[in-house]
Amino acid sequence: MSSAPPNPPNPPWDVHRLPVAADRTFLVTGGNAGIGYFLAEQLAATGAVVVLGSRDAGKAGAAADSIRAHVPDARVRHLRLDLADLSSLEGAVERLDVERLDAVVHNAGVALDDPPRRETDDGHELMFGTNHLGHFALTRWLAPLLSAAPAARVVTVGSFAARSERLDLDDLESAGDYRPGRTYGRSKLAQMTFGFELDRRLRAAGSTVSSVVAHPGGALDSLTPSRPPLHTTTAGERLRALPAALMVQGKEAGAWPVVRAVLDPGVRGGQLWGPRVFGLRGAPRSEPVPAHMADAAVAARLWAASCELTGVEPHLGLIPAGR
């Protein structure tokens, strides 16, 4: 009796030869610039429909034109999306006008270098409010569309800046002692903690959706290929940045672990993906999840506070489509 031949092993992941995903739709927040632009360009090359979530129609239009110039037949659209305006997110998702969503990439981010502390119009600290609360609430409104796909993913873009931070659960919005770098790192830690907690809750609910966290390492504009008029790196800038290239990379490479987290069938919910070399540059690999990011007690308190601050709760797998 002859037995069936074993399945061939998956070929090694090649960031320049991505699998075809022509039947899928992906939403990239902040898809008009930086890493988000390159996420969109690389995902568009798979044949998927890519929606650029951006608050600025002009910037999104320029990004879409650039993607089409680099990816013949790219299917790319704009969705007006302002993560700092929580009450606008339900309407934004209604305008998405798709029957299902195969992945959302929570990429958009604000990183402030200097005081003073700033707030969104909703009255939330700007980085925590945009990076964490905006994506938390967006996940709630996208839930029916993600649940309608066969195996959707929520991919949260974290940061190495979160490794050395700890959340202050009594002052999540840095009202007491504001330091921009620390508040940024904590906003990324809140996002990553949310990403891992979301996956635990999805598994417990028996959802088909999974949640993965990925980070770009260190990604500098000066090491990034030009995409005029969006972004131009001069030869001089590139030359001056060469020593930095020993440690970090450009934004097109920063997109690689995130793209893999969206596309690779071998990626599992609850995983953390980042660049191979010191977690700062290179090809994507999965990393151990630092204990403080997987602390279920901290995550539960963050989740409850986020529900209170946004007025919504993401419940994937439990919300029927159309509600």
Ligand X SMILES: NC(=O)c1ccc[n+]([C@@H]2O[C@H](COP(=O)([O-])OP(=O)(O)OC[C@H]3O[C@@H](n4cnc5c(N)ncnc54)[C@H](OP(=O)(O)O)[C@@H]3O)[C@@H](O)[C@H]2O)c1
* Residues with active-site annotation: 184
Is residue 105 within 8 Å of residue 27, measured between CB atoms? yes
Q: Which of 66, 159, 183, 306 binds ligand X (CB under 6 A)?
A: 159
Segment interacting with ligand X (CB under 6 A) among 12-20, 103-111, 174-182, 286-294 = 103-111
Distances (CA, A) of 135 to 96, 182, 187: 16, 20, 11
Question: Does 59 sit near ligand X (CB under 6 A)?
Answer: yes
Q: Out of 78, 124, 186, 251, name the contact with ligand X by CB under 6 A.
A: 251
Decide if residue 108 touches ligand X (CB under 6 A): yes
- Rounded CA-CA distance 313/54 in Å is 23
Residues 271-310 that bind ligand X (CB under 6 A): none
Contact characters 182-221, ligand X, x per CB under 6 A: ------x--------------------------xx-xx--
81 near ligand X, rule: CB under 6 A? yes
Angle (CA) 124-129-133 rounded to 5° is: 125
Beta carbons of 299 and 194 less than 8 angstroms apart: yes
The CB-of-4 to ligand X minimum distance in angstroms stands at 44
Integer Cα distance of 296 and 170 in angstroms = 17
Distance, in Å, from the CA atom of 206 to the CA atom of 84, rounded to the nearest integer, reads: 31
Does 224 engage in binding with ligand X (CB under 6 A)?
no
157 binds ligand X (CB under 6 A): yes
Q: Are the beta carbons of 169 and 111 closer than 8 angstroms? A: no
Phi, psi of 126 (to 5 degrees): -60, -45
Q: Check residue 143 for interaction with ligand X (CB under 6 A).
A: no
Which residues are at the interface with ligand X (CB under 6 A)? 29-30, 32-36, 54-56, 59, 81-84, 107-111, 130, 157, 159, 188, 215-216, 218-219, 251, 254
